[in-house]
A and B are shown apart, each in its own frame.
Chain A
Amino acid sequence: MRPFSTPEAGRDDAGRRDINYTGTPSLRARRGSAAGVGHDGEHSARTAGTATETLLQVRDLRVSYPSEDGDVRAVDGVSFELARGRTLGVVGESGSGKSTVALSLLGLTRFDDANVSGSAHFAGTDLLALDERRLRALRGRDVAIVFQDPLSSLHPMYRVGAQIAEAIRAHQDMAKTLARARAIELLELVGIARASKRVDAYPHELSGGQRQRVMIAMALANDPRLLIADEPTSALDVTVQAQILELLRRLQRERGMALMLVSHDLGVVAEMADEIAVMRAGQIVERGPAARVFTAPEHPYTIGLLRAIENLEAAPRPGARFPSEEPLLRVEDLRKTFPIDRGLMLSRRVGEVRAVDGVSFDVREGETFGIVGESGSGKSTTARLIARLLEPTAGMVRFAGADVTTLRRAELKRFRSEVQIVFQDPYSSLNPRRTIGAILAEPLQIHGLSADRAARARTVAELLEMVGLRPEHAGRYPHEFSGGQRQRIGIARALALRPRLLIADEPVSALDVSIQAQILDLLTDLQRRLGLTLLFISHDLSVIRHMCDRVAVMRAGRIVELAGGERLYTAPQNPYTRELLEAVPSVRRMRERTIPV
């Protein structure tokens, strides 16, 4: 009995396809063999060879998953090539199938009962036709993959050094001590400081950037010829993202590796790729050299995608907003500290986290004020303090002249109807057990804004139309809507009470680029129509630039720079602001750098 065996390729349950089953792969599955498909383990020999030798050739790749409503075609006929030492960027929005392409190359989709057809020739062998045993010899050795979220992709209970050593010993005959030494070398290679100490750390003890470096080290452990990076920087801050991309670039150059970079972020791909494949609904709609695709796209989808980004990256159109001089919101030396407690029976304070460390700014009525910063900068905490979802440790928040922190009962309730928040995650900020009609009607009920149920229903219908949804949908549940639609519902809910100040905390960060543009346009439009004041919080500089009149840059709980108009982007004063601007992968910058072919 072989309880751990998995289905063999070459035999298809559906009997649908014909495989070029070679039967005699030139790979050797024996452990410790370094003589795979011309695998010589010598860097110099490889980089000295022909740079344009095709390493990977994919033809008519199709991946479908069985489901209740018939087969879901995740990948629907994808073909491309990748040469040695080159970078292919596979770009597409969520659901386009790009990650599935990457996973299917390594046979990782088989574990989810996927049906895979087509061919993927890697150095002469069809990966899709290999059986599990032979494919295993390839994984982590000739072809390696780096995943998106390093916290969940690393085993939480083993030290990082042990996990890297495991990757080494899976393919090389090496003693444990030697493997550990090699792991330390790899950690140094990917830029982890004090590697000999860090090698014994657990994943949760490292930062996001460090974890991703560990993943990269693990992937490089056996000197792969092809590295697949599936959204390697999506879970990271912008500045860390830049570092990781730089690392990948350097490693690729040094080793002559082929790199397949999968991302939804066109900016990231623009900076890294030699060639681009744009995917949509399981198919490649456009493919070509990166320079050409970005400067002269041919397919309407690509054109639309680039335009959406362009709009975001461009300077805002002169708005029809005329903010008054009166500050509607005034924040004075706002502070919020969270205590760190230690101790057994009697907890004592050993330290504190200064989430917000003396923040002051004004927001004028009718303006759009932006707060930009990376994770941990304190921007979301500031938003919650202003909305009084948290109590400040010190400092003051004045709304329309009144001190918010001392409000009670009736006044507090009225305050809540004047200041509303739209949250980041449209998937978790709506109660899944209520219809959206009920969700929207609730604030009306609480604040007694509508006479009776019929009046409420009318208001709900109005709200839905205002955000571009149909009133008939009021009886549906949140899970029946897409992410973009759910965010619209979130906005509608925030507007139900006709607030004067709308705080938008990363409202589009969880959405695809094309949807982002729509939501931002909606916000701008609503602001104009309803005379809203908008406090816009984001980590995304392009979005902020697109939306805001004035911007405050936050870091470690403090505002490091505050500027209006274009000054922040054209003449940043603070070094951190400059760093942020530099780190943003930009399609436009890439275009400007490129000489049209």
Chain B
Amino acid sequence: MTRYVIRRILWGVLLLIAVAALTFVLFRILPTAEPARLLGGRDASPKAIADIRASRGLNKPLIDQFWLYMRELFLHGNLGYSYYSGASVRSLIFNRLPATLSLTIGAAIVWLAIGLPIGILSAVRRRSRSDRATMGAALLFISAPEYWLGLIALYLFAADIGQIHIFPGAGAYTGLTADPTKWFTSLVLPWLVLAAGFAAIYARVMRGSLIDTMGQDFVRTARAKGLSERRVVLRHGVRAAIGPIATMFALDIGVLLGGAILVETVFQIPGVGRLNYEAITHADFPIIQGTVLLAAAFIIVANIVVDIAYAYLDPRVRFS
């Protein structure tokens, strides 16, 4: 097993190098916004733009720029400096990471706590009124765009602009260490909004997976042993049905850790997603490259975790 993990990690590093190279090249070659022009402002003279380009090293040959970037990245862990602010990309990202982590992990707990039990109950009480109601609601939440949900949530519950003043409005995020209560209350709405779609998906998947599992022979055996229905459903049914959920979960977390742009923007949370968004509007290549690399790293790790988790969950997979 350890050899397997090491092998996956090595391939992962290779993949990261490829991702770094690809993003680098893409942004330099494709006709996106010209950072120098953007930095120069509206009426910048060609000379001013050329100066800006020189100062950022953008006038060097592509190969040189690439080599410089790679060397800095893999030998010094230096992700470069923002064209805009000159700040170290690495420090920018690490400053923003806690917010993204808070948002992602909190939302994950919420969607698991809501989605899984609903899915299980729906599977057990299949075709009942409650089943149809919850699955219908799930469909609604999956279809609703996050930003729309976010705006509705703010409109209804935000302290500043909402109808009922419960939670702080957008932009109220403070760090956990700074003010735990405020940290918590400012994240409740974002958590719920982010979790809504996922909870709905997980409920549906859990329901489907459990319905399949409950039709299996070993469930019949469990009942024939005289076990309580609760034990049959939870320890036999859910245990076998949880596989696809675990897989999905690792991947979803991996993706979200790269930044939940929409929710972060609506609620003005200073996370990696928003950092990325702002960098894109300014064509701030170093930051974009940094965040893309971070997102790729998270997804690679998530994939490795999924494979390990699956082998752990299903002994049949283990010994191959």
Contact = CB atoms under 8 A, between A and B. Distances in A.
B290 to A, nearest CB: 31
Nearest to B125: A3
Contact of B228 (A4, A106, A157): A4
Contacts of A202: 315-316
B315 A153 contact: no
Contacts of B224: 106, 108, 139-140, 144-145, 147
A155 interface: yes
B227 A166 contact: yes
Contacts of B228: 4, 136
Contact of A156 (B218, B226, B230): B218
Interface stretch (B53-61, B65-73, B232-240, B267-275): B232-240
A138 B218 contact: no
B229 A6 contact: yes
A155 B225 contact: no
Given A153-B221, A344-B7, A140 B313 contact: no
Contacts of B220: 108, 111, 147, 153
A154 B7 CA distance: 34
A180 interface: no
A5 interface: yes
A204 B4 CA distance: 22
A167 interface: yes
Contact of A157 (B3, B227, B315): B315
A152 B216 contact: yes
A137 interface: yes
B43 interface: no
A488 interface: no
Tell me the interface secondary structure of chain A in the complex. Answer: loop
A317 to B, nearest CB: 42
Contacts of B218: 152-156
Interface in A122-161: 132, 136-141, 144-145, 147, 149, 152-158
Contacts, number: 83
A344 B11 CA distance: 12
Select the residue from A4, A5, A139 with max chain B CB neighbours within 10 A.
Answer: A4
B217 A147 contact: yes
A171 interface: yes
Given A147-B220, A149-B217, A136 B121 contact: no
Contacts of A147: 217, 220-221, 224
B124 A3 contact: yes
Interface string B261-280: 00000000000000000000
B315 A4 contact: no
A183 interface: no
A335 to B, nearest CB: 26
A33 B3 CA distance: 51
Interface in B26-81: none
A515 interface: no
Contacts of A166: 225, 227
Contact of B223 (A111, A171, A215, A345): A111
Contacts of B212: none
Contacts of B112: none
Contacts of A141: 226
Contacts of A140: 224-227
Interface in B145-200: none
B176 to A, nearest CB: 36
A170 interface: yes
A5 B229 CA distance: 7
B225 A218 contact: yes
B225 A139 contact: yes
A4 to B, nearest CB: 4
Contacts of A167: 225-226
A494 B232 CA distance: 47
Interface string A154-181: 1111100000001100110000000000
Tell me the interface secondary structure of chain B in the complex. Answer: helix
Given A155-B240, A156-B314, A157-B239, A171 B216 contact: no
Interface in A316-360: 344-345
Contacts of A153: 217-218, 220-221
Contact of A155 (B222, B230, B233, B313): B222
A156 B240 contact: yes
Nearest to A145: B224
Interface string B114-157: 00000001001100000000000000000000000000000000
Contact of B227 (A138, A149, A170): A170
A488 to B, nearest CB: 30
Contacts of A145: 224
Interface in A3-41: 3-6
A4 B223 CA distance: 12
B154 to A, nearest CB: 34
A215 B218 CA distance: 11
A139 B223 contact: yes
Contacts of A111: 220, 223
Select the residue from B217, B230, B233 with max chain A CB neighbours within 10 A.
Answer: B217
B54 to A, nearest CB: 45
A170 B3 contact: no
A138 B221 contact: no
B226 A170 contact: yes
Given A139-B224, A166-B225, A4 B124 contact: yes
Contacts of A139: 223-226
A401 B104 CA distance: 72
B121 A3 contact: yes
Contacts of A3: 121, 124-125
B236 A155 contact: yes
B11 to A, nearest CB: 9
B309 to A, nearest CB: 13
Interface string A85-126: 000000000000000000000101001000000000000000
A162 B252 CA distance: 33
A158 B233 CA distance: 15
A116 to B, nearest CB: 15
A149 B218 CA distance: 10
Interface in B293-320: 313-316
Contacts of A132: 229
Contacts of A170: 225-227
A111 B236 CA distance: 16
Nearest to B124: A3
Contact of B316 (A136, A138, A156): A156
Contacts of A138: 226
A147 B316 CA distance: 21
B232 to A, nearest CB: 8
Contacts of B125: 3
A204 B315 contact: yes
Nearest to A112: B215
A153 B316 CA distance: 15
Nearest to B236: A155
Interface in B3-29: 3-4, 7
Nearest to A343: B3
A141 B227 CA distance: 11
B240 A4 contact: no
Given A204-B315, A204-B316, A344-B3, A154 B221 contact: yes
Contact of B315 (A5, A106, A149, A156): A156
Interface of B: 3-4, 7, 121, 124-125, 216-218, 220-230, 233, 236, 239-240, 313-316
Given A139-B225, A140-B225, A157-B313, 6 more contacts: A144-B224, A167-B225, A170-B225, A170-B226, A202-B315, A344-B4
Q: Which 3 A-B pairs have the closest CB atoms?
A: A140-B226, A139-B226, A4-B229
14 contacts: A4-B124, A4-B230, A111-B223, A132-B229, A136-B226, A139-B225, A147-B220, A152-B216, A153-B221, A155-B239, A156-B218, A157-B239, A170-B225, A344-B4
